[in-house]
Amino acid sequence: MKIDPLTGEEYYEVNLRGRLILNNPLLNKGSCFTEEERMSLELDGLLRAGVSTLEQEVERTLEQYRRKPDDLERYIFLQGVLDRDETLFYRLLYENLEEMVPIVYTPTVGQACLMLSHIMRRYRGLYVTPQDIGNIDKILESGSRAAVYLIVVTDGERILGLGDLGSDGMGIPIGKVNLYVGAGGLHPAGCLPVTLDVGTNNPRLLDDPVYQGYRHRRLEGREYDEFIERFVLGVKRVFPHALLQWEDFAKHKAFMLMQRYRERILSFNDDIQGTGSTALAALMTAMRIKKSRLKDQRFVIVGLGQAGSGIAFHIRAQLRDDGLTDAEIRQRIFALDAPGLVMDDWPGLEPQMRLFAQPRAAIDGWKLRSPEAVGIEDVVRNAGATVLIGVTAQPKLFDANILGLLAANDSRPVIMALSNPTSKSECSPEDVFRATGGRGLLATGSPFPPMVTPGSDFRVSQANNMFIFPGVGLGALVSQASKVTDRMFLAASRALSRMVSPDMEARGQLLPEAGVIREVAFQVALAVAKEARDSGLGRMVSDDRFENLIRRAQWLPRYYPYRPGPIGG
């Protein structure tokens, strides 16, 4: 960006000419190039005569988008816009976030990943294979368009609830970058999606002649660890101030990578930390509606994978902040996995499970349906559960009996059915409404329409990580934080919960709506930046200065004037 010293006009100096500009999605303006730009940049004859405004292009493109027959076709169409003109794509997304987030991210992005090799039209981001890792510095330098400050990276092993999709999992980092830009306001030139293509164990992909990934079984063990280490060291050398977001790794690897690198590079895991922070924000709002306290609740968390563990970690962290001891916290959080209530005498307990495992003495005197396994119904009844959280991808797991028991324990029970997509949700809004008489406070992982019944407007909040991770990333970068801490995520949860107004609380909403996500990202970023400063991990500037810096960092997609620069310069 340059500024004309006489007129004060902001403009970009462009070193390309003709079709090279039109083929560059960061520079292309389509029909919005002015007459002067067309002449000076050698675009004459390459465009139709009419000159449009960005507003006209958005209207025209939105009309085409809405004519598509289904969500997957809408996804493919939007990716085509992104590949052609990034400013147009992000302005379209910015102005239609509530409508388009389910298309560019969950749930539609999952459909796209299942067949990415069949529908991909243009490569985006970087793919790093075991054959490439020795040249990681060169790949990072040559494969990025500018000074990168955000990297979203996956190895494709656990894409949403779909499993191992190999390099077809690239749709997830691309989707996350779309939200960092559209919701958070980061500039797309500084954001890089990366897939570590270490192979796949998915026979469908290995047998698919169209699959474009690394056709080998996955790296594991020491070879995998060495590969990741070389990648991280490369990022630190080439982009020493970048934030690294780990995305959709297998459970055991996700926890290992988060712990191994959180002190060595500015990084976090959204599946664990972002999910936990979002859920905690919804619970904070629920406590205001219930006029109760978090430490007075009994939590049942079903599914102790990345998301469930992240939620349990964040509830535990907030309860510790509220002054409870570890023993008191264990009496309030009951975690279930496949065999039932997690017990401390289970063989081979995973490290993240140990914090929430119950001693046998804790269930002495419980009335159980079977002594072999303590199920959800047993725990809800005997523990006096007031909050029920599901991250299992098991549809209808929370049946009328379980929801009825929960409603008997509390006048305003909290239910969080967080599995994606809608078909995998542990219960529906109708299930909760019937079982609780409309008194339940509900958040879901997938979008559901509000339930309007006579005398009742039963609102369903979507607990989507998009409310947290764009702001956390923006706040960590603006504050120049040396690491992302648990306390930053607690601060993010509080900021998100504060975005729910009293009127929304009166309707039972636990989280804001997607239409205000840019302001949500600002407030979350501000809270994270202040926490970084107050904990001695970020730059020491005033609150007002942080507000100004974050506002200035939030890019608004618009076309800037172009002037010709030296060709190839």
| 57-86 pLDDT per residue, tens | 999 999 999 999 999 999 999 999 999 999
Give the architecture (CATH level 2) of 55-265.
3-Layer(aba) Sandwich (3.40)
With b for 16 or more beta-carbon neighbours within 10 A and e for fewer, the 429-448 pattern comes to bebbbebbeeebbbbbbbbb
Q: Taking residues 257-284, what's their average pLDDT?
A: 98
pLDDT digits (tens, 9 = 90+) for 19-31: 999 999 999 999 9
Q: Quick one: pLDDT at residue 1?
A: 77
Q: At 285, give phi and psi (nearest 5°).
A: -65, -40
Same fold flag, 55-265 and 273-538: yes
Catalytic residue positions?
A: 105, 176
Least confident among 117-126, 237-246, 553-562: 117-126
pLDDT-derived band of residue 351, with 50, 70 and 90 as boundaries? confident
pLDDT digits (tens, 9 = 90+) for 429-481: 999 999 999 999 999 998 887 777 766 667 789 999 999 999 999 999 999 99
Q: What is the CATH number of domain 273-538?
A: 3.40.50.720
Q: At 113, give phi and psi (nearest 5°).
A: -65, -35
Least confident among 117-126, 182-191, 465-474, 494-503: 117-126
Tokens 């006009």 correspond to: 9
Tokens 């009996």 correspond to: 401
Domain boundaries, given as residue ranges, for the chain: 2-52+555-564, 55-265, 273-538
Q: Quick one: pLDDT at residue 554?
A: 96
CB 156 within 8 A of CB 167: yes
Q: Quick one: pLDDT at residue 210?
A: 95
Spatial distance between the Cα atoms of 86 and 264, rounded to a whole number of angstroms: 33
Spatial distance between the Cα atoms of 118 and 362, rounded to a whole number of angstroms: 53
Q: Residue 334 burial (CB < 10 Å; 0-12/13-18/19+)?
A: buried
Q: Quick one: pLDDT at residue 446?
A: 83
Helix, strand, coil shares of the chain, percent, nearest 5, are 50, 10, 40
Give the DSSP letter of residue 357: P
Q: Which amino acid is at 364?
A: D
Q: Quick one: pLDDT at residue 3?
A: 84
- Three-class SS string for 466-518? HHCHHHHHHHHHHCCCCCCCHHHHHHHHHHHHHCCCHHHHHCCCCCCCHHHHH
Is residue 291 pLDDT above 80, yes or no?
yes
Paired residues of 452 in beta bridges: 457
Q: Quick one: pLDDT at residue 552?
A: 96
Q: Quick one: pLDDT at residue 455?
A: 65
3-state secondary structure of 451: strand
CB 479 within 8 A of CB 546: yes
